[in-house]
């Protein structure tokens, strides 16, 4: 990669199962470009060999937000409050995770993306926090405010990659637009941030170039929130430093 070229980051698309359209929220594109990357979107109609070929061109991967993974992936029946499922998107993301990790390339997961990292590595998720997770003060994880407004806090774990990236603050104020969440952590992952109700809001792998999943949406916060901007910059820097390996 020359000095003038930006690290190429492959994003997983949203899949509308009604009309088969693929889409991407421009907030992801803006956040990555502001951090110095060149983003593009993966197709769904693609073979495993083609995923490997495209992945080899990428410097990093962003697993984006979206609706609900198929519970068969972790051996559960579909809960009555599980949302829309795209089997083809699930499959792309599981295949891409496998290829990305074989190539030891940086990975960032956001919301559903974080959950897919955990599922792909052998963990599982709550299909519906409200129905499956009880506590004395339930937090509004589906927030009653615009996505650009933080509505709950997370406590960052000492010694986590997230704490190195975000600096001194042990508490981060985050937005929250999810009804599912990581339940059982996959082997090799740790919780780098937890909400006051005990919901895991960040996962990371210590023994890997860069693998972080956040349950919140930093792509709606980075313009006014230094911790979110730092997260995107750290991800893109990890993609850049891969060059020459």
Please say if 76 is a catalytic residue.
no
The answer to whether residue 217 forms part of the interface with Mn ion (CB under 5 A) is no
CA distance 33 to 1: 17
15, 89, 112, 141: residue in contact with Mn ion (rule CB under 5 A):
141
Catalytic residue among 99, 202, 204, 219: 219
Please say if 219 is a catalytic residue.
yes
- Residue in this structure with the two tokens 């009555």, named with its chain if needed: 80
DSSP letter assigned to residue 95: H
Instruction: Kindly report the backbone phi and psi dihedral angles of residue 9, in degrees, each rounded to the nearest multiple of 5, phi listed first.
Output: -120, 120
Looking at beta carbons only, is 60 or 123 nearer to Mn ion?
Answer: 123
CA distance 30 to 28: 6
Provide, rounded to whole angstroms, the least separation between the CB of residue 76 and Mn ion: 21
> Is residue 60 within 8 Å of 235, Cβ to Cβ?
yes
The answer to whether residue 176 forms part of the interface with Mn ion (CB under 5 A) is yes
From the list 17-25, 67-75, 116-124, 176-184, the region that binds Mn ion by CB under 5 A is 176-184
CA distance 158 to 170: 8
Catalytic residue among 58, 111, 166, 239: 111
> Is residue 143 within 8 Å of 149, Cβ to Cβ?
yes
Looking at beta carbons only, is 160 or 176 nearer to Mn ion?
Answer: 176
Please say if 111 is a catalytic residue.
yes
Active-site residue set:
111, 217, 219
Binding residues (CB under 5 A) for Mn ion: these are 141, 176
């Amino acid at each position: 990669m020359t000095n003038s070229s930006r690290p190429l980051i492959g994003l997983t698309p949203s899949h509308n199962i009604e009309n088969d359209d693929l889409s991407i929220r421009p907030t992801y594109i803006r956040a990555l470009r502001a951090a110095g990357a060149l983003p593009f979107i993966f197709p769904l109609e693609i073979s495993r060999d083609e995923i490997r070929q495209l992945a080899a061109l990428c410097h990093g991967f962003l697993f984006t937000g979206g609706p609900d993974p198929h519970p068969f992936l972790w051996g559960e029946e579909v809960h009555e409050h599980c949302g829309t499922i795209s089997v083809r998107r699930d499959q792309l993301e599981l295949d891409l995770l496998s290829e990305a990790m074989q190539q030891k390339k940086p990975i960032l997961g956001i919301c559903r993306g974080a959950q897919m990292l955990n599922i792909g590595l052998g963990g599982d998720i709550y299909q519906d926090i409200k129905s499956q997770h009880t506590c004395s003060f339930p937090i509004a994880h589906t927030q009653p405010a615009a996505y650009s407004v933080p509505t709950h806090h997370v406590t960052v774990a000492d010694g986590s990659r997230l704490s190195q990236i975000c600096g001194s603050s042990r508490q981060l104020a985050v937005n929250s637009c999810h009804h599912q969440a990581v339940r059982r952590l996959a082997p090799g992952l740790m919780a780098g941030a937890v909400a006051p109700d005990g919901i895991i809001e960040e996962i990371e792998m210590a023994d890997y170039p860069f693998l972080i999943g956040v349950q919140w949406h930093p792509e709606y916060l980075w313009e006014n929130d230094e911790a979110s901007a730092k997260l995107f910059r750290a991800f893109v820097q990890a993609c850049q430093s891969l060059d020459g390996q």
